[in-house]
């Protein structure tokens, strides 16, 4: 695990020089991303946010249309409240909810303009593309991975 922690910390340092300061920790659900990210939080003394919990709490009283329109602002408020230069985002699955009509990667990239964001990503890197879910699934996403800072649980991508 120490090697993986060092890889993530190195990516965080690399991100500080980039336009989008986003580091994705990519692995399938249940592979131990949360434990690794909690260790990063302890080692660096940075904020850790469970996005599913925080966002769902704030979306409860909004209509479906308001939810889609205000998600970006809600995410910005959550990160602003974190008050650290590096923020770890775990459990981001709610961002893929089709009713919210968002592009999760673009949303995360936008949030990473003013601070370094380390986000867990349930998926994989395959054929030089970052994926979420499986083809045919409503929440399926596929992005070119060549300009992304990614650490996989198996090896660096």
- Per-residue pLDDT of the chain (157 residues), as tens digits, is 889 999 999 999 999 999 999 999 999 999 999 999 999 999 999 999 999 999 999 999 999 999 999 999 999 999 999 989 999 999 999 999 999 999 999 999 999 999 999 999 999 999 999 999 989 999 999 999 999 999 998 644 4
**Cross-strand bridge partners of residue 129:** 126, 144
**Token pair for residue 26?**
């990519």
Structure tokens at 115: 């601070």
Residue ranges per domain, the chain?
Answer: 2-152
User: DSSP labels for 78-96?
Assistant: HHHHH-SSEEEEE--GGGG
Q: How far is CA 62 from the centre of its chain?
A: 23
Q: Tell me the β-bridge partners of 151.
A: 25, 156
Q: Which of 27, 35, 28, 34 is nearest to 53 (CA)?
A: 34
Question: Does the domain at residues 2-152 carry the CATH identifier 3.40.50?
Answer: yes
């Amino acid at each position: 695990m120490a090697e993986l922690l060092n890889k993530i910390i190195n990516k965080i340092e690399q991100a500080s020089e980039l336009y989008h300061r986003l580091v994705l920790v990519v692995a399938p659900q249940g592979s131990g991303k949360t434990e690794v990210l909690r260790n990063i939080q302890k080692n660096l003394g940075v904020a850790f946010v469970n996005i599913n919990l925080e966002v769902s709490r704030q979306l409860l009283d909004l209509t479906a249309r308001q939810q889609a329109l205000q998600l970006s602002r809600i995410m910005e408020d959550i990160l602003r409240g974190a008050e650290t230069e590096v923020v770890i985002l775990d459990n981001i699955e709610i961002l893929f909810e089709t009713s919210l009509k968002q592009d999760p990667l673009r949303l995360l990239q936008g949030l990473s303009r003013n601070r370094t964001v380390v986000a867990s990503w349930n998926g994989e890197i395959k054929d030089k593309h970052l994926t979420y879910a499986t083809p045919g699934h409503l929440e399926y996403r596929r992005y070119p991975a060549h300009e992304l800072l990614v650490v996989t649980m198996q090896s660096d991508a």
